[in-house]
């Protein structure tokens, strides 16, 4: 399965069911009164973490998700059936962002964590809800509230305790295959690994941690060169970094130069990454010239590491397993002391008393002349929602709608815009047109 770590999808929550106008008709019951029930609630769309998922592949071909609408109300005051919520499974470590506003809606990092991303509409009220002493037999009802429509971006950042970083062919995949049951592709050419691989490492003292082999970085990765730009975001989740440096010298590359280049890319992408616990791992120590190169490399790193403090340097050979057990123990010790990244932390519950004050909200309404339609066009979330929930088939509800528009200040805005008697007025996103009159 291909590794997909970004996706954009469209969500449409369910519309609420319509309320109805109905009156009680029963033998020997005179003037039974209104009996129309409310509509049911529309289904919401909820994201839920599934630990079995490792990629956003499911969203590559299915980009539209819709929840069911609520049922209409019934006579005898019966409420319509509420629709079930639509639950969409996502992998652990998914960040959810509103595609239009850029607002981060949630960071799904805990098993079975849920996030409501599109709320279903409430059911419209039936005429039984509008009965008053002044109007005991109302012919008023509401349509259901439209469900929330939203474009969201999903971004997966691999959750791993330990991240393996380094140049291509530094031995990251080989190390992961030796210390865990993961089976990454291993070959004698660069960029063998093009997707992050994850493995569980278990130590003899019952400690364990998750290790991720991230695709090889090269110079310029933080600017979009190679594959590193796509996967640098996954380094943000790791608590401990194992920086693998090839000591074989086969390609004539200076280990210290490669080491410094990777540090530069990490720093340019996110300077806080270098503040995390790090172990420099000298790999391929079974090669002929490795000892000489390693001794020189140690001197250079200790002289100028580029970090706040000189990282520990460990030499290993994944082929002969020399130094691997010691590396894992040191890594586990660092994890025991490493702070938990902000993304993992849950918000602390507070017991402080909060005071809420009512603040009147002025509806956002715009009035513009539309040359193509030859009418005034009224737009705004409040007025459009009101129009959608108004039953235009009954005169009583239309009159109520006119009073609500006047109360919201639509008449004043039309007058200020220069509307004259007889001008047509249309509510945006509807086919409802009425005539303006002073």
* Per-position DSSP letters for 25-69, written without gaps between them: -BTTBTT--B-PPPPPPPPPEEEEE-TT--SSTHHHH--EEEPPP
Q: Is 170 annotated as a binding residue?
A: yes
pLDDT at 72: 97
Q: Let me know if 220 is exposed, middle or buried by CB neighbors in 10 A (0-12, 13-18, 19+).
A: middle
CA atoms of 106 and 14, how far apart (whole Å)? 21
**Structure confidence at residue 235 as a pLDDT band (50, 70, 90):** confident
Q: Is the pLDDT of residue 63 over 70?
A: yes
Give the residue, 31 or 22, on which the prediction is more confident.
22
Looking up tokens 């469900």 gives: 147
Q: Is 317 annotated as a binding residue?
A: yes
CA atoms of 391 and 379, how far apart (whole Å)? 19
Q: Is 421 annotated as a binding residue?
A: no
Q: Do the Cβ atoms of 163 and 212 come closer than 8 Å?
A: yes
Q: Let me know if 314 is exposed, middle or buried by CB neighbors in 10 A (0-12, 13-18, 19+).
A: middle
Q: Is the pLDDT of residue 346 over 70?
A: no
- Whole-number mean pLDDT of the chain? 84
Domain ranges of the chain: 6-156, 162-337, 366-436
What confidence tens digit (pLDDT) does each residue in 248-277 have?
A: 877 667 889 888 888 887 888 778 888 888
Q: Is 167 annotated as a binding residue?
A: yes
Model pTM? Answer: 0.74
Q: Is the pLDDT of residue 93 over 50?
A: yes
**Structure confidence at residue 192 as a pLDDT band (50, 70, 90):** very low
Per DSSP, the three-state class of 244 is strand
pLDDT at 343: 47
Q: Is 192 annotated as a binding residue?
A: yes
What confidence tens digit (pLDDT) does each residue in 365-423 have?
A: 899 999 988 999 999 999 999 999 999 888 999 999 999 999 999 999 999 999 999 99
**Structure confidence at residue 354 as a pLDDT band (50, 70, 90):** low
Q: Is the pLDDT of residue 41 over 50?
A: yes
CA atoms of 348 and 215, how far apart (whole Å)? 35
Range in 118-132, 194-208, 339-353 with the lowest mean pLDDT: 339-353
Q: Is 319 annotated as a binding residue?
A: yes
Q: Is 195 annotated as a binding residue?
A: yes
Looking up tokens 């969201």 gives: 152
Q: Is 171 annotated as a binding residue?
A: yes
The CATH number of 366-436 is which of 3.40.50.970, 3.40.50.300, 3.40.50.2020, 3.30.300.350?
A: 3.30.300.350
Q: Do the Cβ atoms of 316 and 322 come closer than 8 Å?
A: yes
Q: Is 216 annotated as a binding residue?
A: yes
**Structure confidence at residue 38 as a pLDDT band (50, 70, 90):** very high
Task: State mean pLDDT over 219-235.
Answer: 51
Q: Rg of the chain's alpha carbons, rounded to an integer?
A: 32
**Structure confidence at residue 4 as a pLDDT band (50, 70, 90):** low
pLDDT at 35: 93
Q: Is 27 annotated as a binding residue?
A: no
Task: State mean pLDDT over 232-257.
Answer: 82
The proportion of the chain whose per-residue pLDDT surpasses 70, expressed as a percent, equals 84
Q: Is 40 annotated as a binding residue?
A: no
pLDDT at 84: 97
For domain 162-337, the CATH architecture is 3-Layer(aba) Sandwich (3.40)
In 10 A of CB 425, how many CB atoms? Answer: 20
Q: Is 191 annotated as a binding residue?
A: yes
Q: Is 222 annotated as a binding residue?
A: no
CATH 3.30.1050.10 assigned to 6-156: no
Looking up tokens 């540090």 gives: 263
Q: Is 374 annotated as a binding residue?
A: no
Give the residue, 339 or 222, on which the prediction is more confident.
339
Q: Is the pLDDT of residue 48 over 90?
A: yes
Task: State mean pLDDT over 224-247.
Answer: 71
Q: Is 283 annotated as a binding residue?
A: yes
Q: Which of 281-285, 298-302, 350-354 has the highest mean pLDDT?
A: 281-285
Q: Is 318 annotated as a binding residue?
A: yes
What confidence tens digit (pLDDT) does each residue in 108-162 have?
A: 988 899 999 999 999 999 999 999 999 999 999 999 999 999 999 998 887 778 8
pLDDT at 2: 47
Q: Is 166 annotated as a binding residue?
A: yes
Q: Is 169 annotated as a binding residue?
A: yes
pLDDT at 21: 95
What confidence tens digit (pLDDT) does each residue in 295-323 have?
A: 999 888 888 755 556 788 999 998 889 99
pLDDT at 17: 97
User: In sequence order, what are the residues at sequence separation of 6 or more whose Cβ sits closer than 8 angstroms to the Cβ of residue 44?
Assistant: 13, 14, 67, 85, 86, 116, 118, 119, 120, 147
Strands of the 104-108 sheet, one edge to the other: 64-66, 6-12, 149-156, 94-98, 104-108
Task: State mean pLDDT over 98-115.
Answer: 92
pLDDT at 92: 87
Q: Is 183 annotated as a binding residue?
A: no
Q: Is the pLDDT of residue 52 over 80?
A: yes
């Amino acid at each position: 399965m291909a590794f997909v770590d970004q996706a954009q999808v469209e969500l449409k929550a369910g519309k609420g069911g319509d309320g109805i106008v109905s009156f009680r008709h029963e033998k020997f019951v005179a003037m039974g009164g209104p009996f129309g029930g409310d509509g049911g609630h529309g289904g919401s769309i909820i994201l839920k973490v599934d630990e079995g998922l490792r990629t956003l592949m499911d969203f590559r071909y299915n980009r539209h998700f819709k929840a069911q609408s609520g049922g209409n109300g019934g006579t005898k005051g019966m409420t319509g059936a509420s629709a079930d919520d639509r639950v969409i499974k996502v992998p652990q470590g998914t960040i959810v962002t509103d595609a239009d506003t850029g607002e981060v809606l949630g960071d799904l990092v805990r098993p079975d964590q849920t996030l409501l991303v599109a709320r279903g509409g409430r059911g419209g009220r039936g005429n039984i809800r509008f009965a008053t002493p002044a109007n005991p037999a109302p012919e008023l009802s509401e349509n259901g509230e439209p469900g929330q429509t939203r474009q969201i971006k999903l971004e997966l950042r691999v959750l791993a305790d330990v991240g393996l970083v380094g140049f291509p062919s530094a031995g990251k995949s080989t190390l992961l295959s030796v210390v865990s049951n993961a089976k990454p592709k291993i070959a004698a050419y660069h960029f063998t690994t093009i997707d992050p691989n994850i493995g569980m490492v278990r130590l003899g003292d019952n400690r364990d941690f998750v290790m991720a082999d991230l695709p090889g970085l090269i110079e310029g990765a933080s600017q979009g060169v190679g594959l590193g730009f796509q996967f640098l975001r996954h380094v943000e989740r790791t608590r401990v970094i194992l920086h693998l440096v090839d000591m074989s010298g086969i390609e004539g590359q200076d280990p210290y130069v490669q080491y410094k280049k990777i540090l530069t890319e990490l720093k340019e992408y996110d300077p806080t990454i270098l503040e995390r616990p790090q172990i420099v791992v000298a790999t391929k120590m079974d090669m002929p010239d490795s000892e000489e190169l390693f001794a020189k490399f140690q001197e250079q790193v200790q002289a100028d590491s580029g970090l706040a403090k000189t990282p520990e340097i460990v030499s290993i050979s994944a082929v002969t397993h020399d130094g691997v057990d010691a590396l894992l123990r040191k890594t586990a010790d660092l994890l025991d002391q490493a702070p938990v990244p902000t993304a993992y932390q849950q918000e602390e519950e507070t017991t402080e008393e909060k005071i809420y004050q009512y603040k009147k909200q002025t509806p956002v309404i715009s009035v513009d002349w539309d040359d193509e339609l030859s009418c005034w066009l009224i737009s705004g979330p409040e007025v459009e929602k009101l129009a959608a929930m108004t039953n235009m088939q009954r005169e009583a509800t239309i009159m109520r709608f006119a009073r609500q528009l006047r109360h919201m200040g639509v008449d004043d805005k039309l007058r200020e815009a220069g509307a004259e008697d007889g001008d047509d007025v249309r509510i945006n996103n509807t086919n409802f047109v009425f005539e303006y009159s002073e």
